[in-house]
Structures are given as C-alpha cells and as structure tokens.
Structure 1
C-alpha cells in the first residue's frame, strides 16, 4: 500500500485536454471616455472577436473566422444582434435596476457577464456557465441543473424572481449552453485547428532585479495555456518561499508565466540543489532550468566599491595635473618664440610712419 501511494505521488498524470469558448461582456456607467458596452470572445484563451456595442463595431480577430461566417451567415447575424441590440438593452435595464436596489444615484459602476462552455476532448463532457458580476462582486449565476437564477445578494432577490419568470429567455439559455455553444466550439476547433490545436514550447529564462530580489523563472511563447511551472529542491517540488504568477496572454496569441523563488535564505553552495520545471500539456518532456548564477539575466549594475572610487579619483587628479603641466610647457615655448615687446613696438612705428 505504501509503494502504491508513493507511485501516485511521484508519477505525473497527464491532464485532460479541455477546450473552451468564452464570452466576456462589460457595461460601464459613469465613465465618459469608454464605450458603454464592450464584448470579447475567446477560444482556448485566445481572443477571437471584439464587439463595441456603443459604436456598432464588430471585429473578427482570427483569419479563419471569416470563412466560418461566410459558410454560416446566420451565426454572424446572431452575433450582430447580441452585440448591437440585445446586450446593450439588457445591460442598461439591469444597471438601472441594480442602482435602485443598492440606492446608487451617481458614480462609476461596472456590470460584467462571463458565459460560455468547456469541452473535454477525452471524455466528451461539456460544462457550461453564465454568471454576472457588479462592481467587482458576484451578482447572479444561472444554474443549468435547475434552470433558475441564484444570487448571494439578498438585495437583488427581486431581480432573480423577475428573471426566473422569463420562460423564453430561460429556454434560450438551455439550448445555447447545451447545444449551440458546444457545436460552435467544435466547429471553431475544426476550422482553426492549425492555430488553436498547435503546441508551442516556450523559452525559459532566469531573471532577477537585484542580488537581494527573488529569482524569477520566466517562460514565454508557449501554447496552449494548459501549463504549470514550479521550483524543485533535490528533485522534489517546494512551496515555501515560492510565489506563482498567473498565465498571461502575449500579443501574438501565445502565453507567458513566471514562478519566483526567494533565495535570501539559500546559501551559494546550495544553489545547485534547486531547479525550475516547466510542464506543457501534450508534451512529454519537461523543460528543466537549473538555478545557476551565471545564467541569470538582470539589468542591475554592480556599484563601485570604495577602493574603486578612490582609484578613480586619483586618476582624475593625475590627469588634471598632467593637462595643466602640458599647458604650462606649451605656453613657455610660445613665449620663447615671441619677440620682445620693444622690438614689436619699433617695427609697428616704422610701418605707421608715412615718411619711412
């Protein structure tokens, strides 16, 4: 039994391959320099579309999307309807209701919606979600199992009851999340498989701001975003003194992440016991980077020591004195070549005398 537990602890289990289609909609109130509503669609964490509901602007960010909408014009029509009509109206009325129940007459307020679905390619399982947030806090969630809205806020129970009574909208949500969203996700993966199903391994570097700062193991350029990175000591993963960063998108559609190690209590002779491990789903071999001082990249410049400053000052003084001495020698030579003042005056008088 003990051997089995050890095998479960140290053997890596391959993570399931999940794909996602997510929509993020944000409405603003009290902000003059931003559109009242913007929406973003993402596939596997990559931005696929952008919508500006205020200025009636809809963009496809991926080249293959144009072919999809050419083959399925009804889909583009649906996106246009939601972006320019449905979402702006729904967000405006919801924002008005929330201001009333929370007794808010002015100020900046933000209403957010996140909805979409995930598909497990190995098991075929589909998970859907639809939830709202208001001013940075959870507002209301749609429960697909019961087809009802759930809210943690007692103040908005009236809104929940109103939304529960909208049978047509609930039926639409059921169909979209159980049928339409998974269908679209699989279709997008089919048309964009060359980019969405690719695997790119990253470049990994060790970074440090100053000698007293943590050493950051930074990876960038990997795809997909199903990755993890951690520090090890003597081959075992450690958590103390380690700070993990989030997976962030790059401008080219790839991702980056970092994990920091506090080395303030690590003696120089123990550095060789540490390494950074990057694991990307779908790739068998991990990228292992040893903690090596010679491999750390930094912009920090070593300050001059006291001896260095003294030597530099002495050199400056010597140079100044040498320059002064050279100037004096040069001046003396010039003075020796110059005729006496009496001779210069006599010659000048002779030239000015008209009878000469």
Structure 2
C-alpha cells in the first residue's frame, strides 16, 4: 500500500514537472516556388514561440519587423543566406536555372533553435538545426558540430558533396546557430501570464439528457499547459480537447470538454497546471444550471435585451421632446444633446492570423490530419478552406466560427491526407479585412514543427 502511494506521488510530480517546463523556440522558415502565378516566388518569416517577429517583404526586398516585443529585441535580425541565393538553389534543383520552369517545384527550409528548461531553471535540452525539404520530401540537413551535410534523399547526394566543400559558409552557419542558442537561452524569462479559467456547460447536441461540460483556459503564456476536467478530484477519461491555440495578442488558449448526465449530482472541477502558477489551480463548477446556456435561456435573454433597449429609446425620446418644447438651452442640456446624437461607429477590421499544421490522424498511422487555423479576425464572416494545387478539397471538417476572449473570432478546417503525400497544399482565406485573399502554404517538410 505504501509503495502504491509513493508511486502515485512520483507520477504526480512527473506530470507536474513536465507541465511546468519552459519550452521556447526560434524558427526561420523559407519557401521558394518554381512557378509562382498567384503566390509569391519567395516567402520567409521568423517565428518565436508561435509569434511572427519578422518576415520578408518582397516589395521592399528586405526583412520587416512584425510583432516585436521587448524580449525579442536581441533576436538575430538577418537570417542566413539571401533571397537570391535561396531562389537559385530552388531553380538548380528543379533543372531550370536558366529558363522558366514548366512544372511546379517547391524548396523549403527551416533553421533555428529550441530550448527546454526544468522548473528550477536548469536547461534540459538545447538543440539547433538547419534542414531542407524539396517537393514535399526530406532533402538535406546540417550537422553543425561536424560542419557537414547529411543527405536524406538520393537526390541530395550531389548537393551534399558541393555544400561540404563550402567550408566558410558552413562555419558561418555554425556561428549563426550559436547566436540563436545564446538568444534562446535568455528568451522570454520575464514573461509569464497565468490562464483565465472558466467552467461552463451547454446542452449536448443531439441528446437532451446530456450536458456538454467545458473548461476554457485563455490568455496564458508560455504555451505549455496541462488541463483536464475532474469528477470528485479524479481525472475523467475520454475528454475532447481543442488543442492549444494562439490568441491574437500572442497568448494561448485551450478548451477541454466532456459529456455528463443532465441530472448529475457529482462534483466537477477544472484542474490546470501552468508555469505561471505557484501551484495547480482548481476551478469548481457549481452545476446548479445557472450557467447552462440552453436555447430557452438565450431566447429569454434576447427578449429582455430587446425590451430594455426599446424602453431606453422611448425614455430618451421623451426627454429630448420635453427639452425642445420647454426651450431649455443650458450648457448641460446642450452637452447632453450632443452626446445623444447618433454617431457612426468606427470601422473595426482585424485580419486573420493563419496557421497551417498537421498531426497524426487518430486511428490511422498512414494518415495526417492537416488543419488550417485562422484566429484574431473581425468582423465574424470569413471563408476559408484547404486546397491541393489551388483546388478546393471536398469533405473538409470545420470547427465553426468561434469567439476569442478579446472579441475576435477563430475558425479551423481540417482534412485527412496521406502521410507520404507529394502534393502541394495551402490554406485559402477570404475576409473583409484583406485587400485580396490570403494563401498560406504547407508541405510535408513542416512536420518537424508538429511531431516534436
């Protein structure tokens, strides 16, 4: 019995310690296309912990700062290798260096560094990488310790021999990656934001005898968090999770849900572990039905709000008529009249932050679940779907448009694809805040970002 108790304590500390670990990364991502009709020939960005800190502007032909914070001020500014060098490599591999390419070829690169720290500040792991993908397949990677390239594809053997002889460039890449390691080691130590946790329930779709109990944690930073719903302090199995999603302000959110009996008598709470908290947080759900937003509640609220607005309009109209008929014109009355005049609401338009990523498809090791997430956009209406070779894919699953904590909205679309695909996928978004539709690319090469 005592050994079981010790095992449970050790297991708890293991999961607690894992959730309290700090994980940071800086990624430079490059893409070049041999045939660029609607998409740019070259695109690149630097992303730190899910935030784009700068990107390449093709019009100005230079790198532009994006959402730079105080913690990003020492980030490496000039990425390794130029736009022209990268496009030249793409055309060389595509066998169309001196002429226009007749077929679509894609060269992608991801380079950067990643850090994991234990709760006491000890560095658990610090890694650097520089990897290339060509036409959706792994191509070649850089070993910064040995100053040599490792071919991941038979097509890369010639490139490996050529790049191994470029000793000065390899030494420069090694120095650049060391600079990245130094920066990531001190990155964002000062920023920690605790989660805002809410527990609520709605009527379960398709079953009037069930409630869908949900726990929403939002606004937290850094990204890593552990959260689940418990009954009598015991974790419930088979919970559905939204996955950790970015908010428009650089923080993150996570939702977990589970179906429970409508006439339950159990005690439920939401348990959250995050590095910003000195101890795990527990938020109880009363379960008295006060926060169960059923259709009848919404209908009643709508009626009450409508009646209240009508009463307020009538009162204001009567006051205005009385003042005009009595001829009162004091300074106070003039000011009130100015305040009561209807002013047009300023236009509020926020463009979507679009991410494309993939995870292993549940239940099928030969499939990937490719997803497109657009968040932070306003107003609500948006059109978004995943395309293959710029053709809309049928039978996509959608989360539906959902609200964010800051008043903006988010939408996720997903589709299963073959794990060994060679197709070109992108996410196509149309929104009133954009001057033209946006397209965000994805290739198999991005898998490093999702399987770590």
- Short-chain TM bin: 0.5 to 0.7
**Map of 2:150 onto structure 1:** 150
After superposition, give the CA deviation of every residue in 1:60-95 in whole Å (9 maximum; x if it has no partner).
Answer: 2345569958xx9xx65x45xx5xxx3322321332
**Map of 1:329 onto structure 2:** none
**Map of 1:10 onto structure 2:** 12
1:206-285 matched pairs, under 5 angstroms: 206=200, 211-212=205-206, 216-240=214-238, 242-261=239-258, 263=259, 266-270=260-264, 272=266, 274-283=268-277, 284-285=279-280
CA contact (8 A) 2:51 2:67 kept: no
CA contact (8 A) 2:32 2:106 kept: yes
1:20 aligns with 2:6: no
Alignment match of 1:198 (pick from 152, 168, 192): 192
Q: Which runs of 5+ in 1 are unaligned?
A: 305-356
Q: Which runs of 5+ in 2 are unaligned?
A: 300-452
Query: How many Å separate the matches in 1 of 2:63 and 2:102?
Result: 30
Are residues 32 and 105 of structure 1, via their aligned partners in 2, closer, same or farther at CA, if it must alter by over 3 Å? closer
Are residues 303 and 234 of structure 1, via their aligned partners in 2, closer, same or farther at CA, if it must alter by over 3 Å? closer
1:286 aligns with 2:281: yes
Alignment match of 2:36 (pick from 31, 42, 45): 31
SS of 1:175 mapped into structure 2 = helix
1:117 aligns with 2:119: no
CA contact (8 A) 1:20 1:118 kept: yes
Deviates more, 1:285-294 or 1:222-231: 285-294
Query: How many Å separate the matches in 1 of 2:272 and 2:105?
Result: 40
After superposition, give the CA deviation of every residue in 1:283-339 in whole Å (9 maximum; x if it has no partner).
Answer: 1232435384543457x67999xxxxxxxxxxxxxxxxxxxxxxxxxxxxxxxxxxx
Query: How many Å separate the matches in 2 of 1:291 and 1:165?
Result: 68
CA contact (8 A) 2:133 2:139 kept: yes
Deviation at 1:50, TM superposition (A): 1.9
CA contact (8 A) 1:28 1:37 kept: yes
CA contact (8 A) 2:228 2:256 kept: yes
Q: Output the TM-score relative to the length of structure 2.
A: 0.52
**Larger % of strand: which?**
2
Are residues 203 and 235 of structure 1, via their aligned partners in 2, closer, same or farther at CA, if it must alter by over 3 Å? closer
**Map of 2:85 onto structure 1:** 90
Query: How many Å separate the matches in 1 of 2:22 and 2:158?
Result: 40
Deviation at 1:107, TM superposition (A): 4.8
Instruction: Report the structure number with the largest CA radius of gyration.
Output: 1
**Larger % of helix: which?**
1
CA RMSD after TM alignment: 3.8
Query: How many Å separate the matches in 1 of 2:200 and 2:137?
Result: 37
SS of 1:295 mapped into structure 2 = coil
CA contact (8 A) 2:270 2:283 kept: yes
Are residues 56 and 138 of structure 1, via their aligned partners in 2, closer, same or farther at CA, if it must alter by over 3 Å? same
Query: How many Å separate the matches in 2 of 1:100 and 1:273?
Result: 66
After superposition, give the CA deviation of every residue in 1:225-279 in whole Å (9 maximum; x if it has no partner).
Answer: 1212223344333443x33333222211111222343x2xx43344735543332
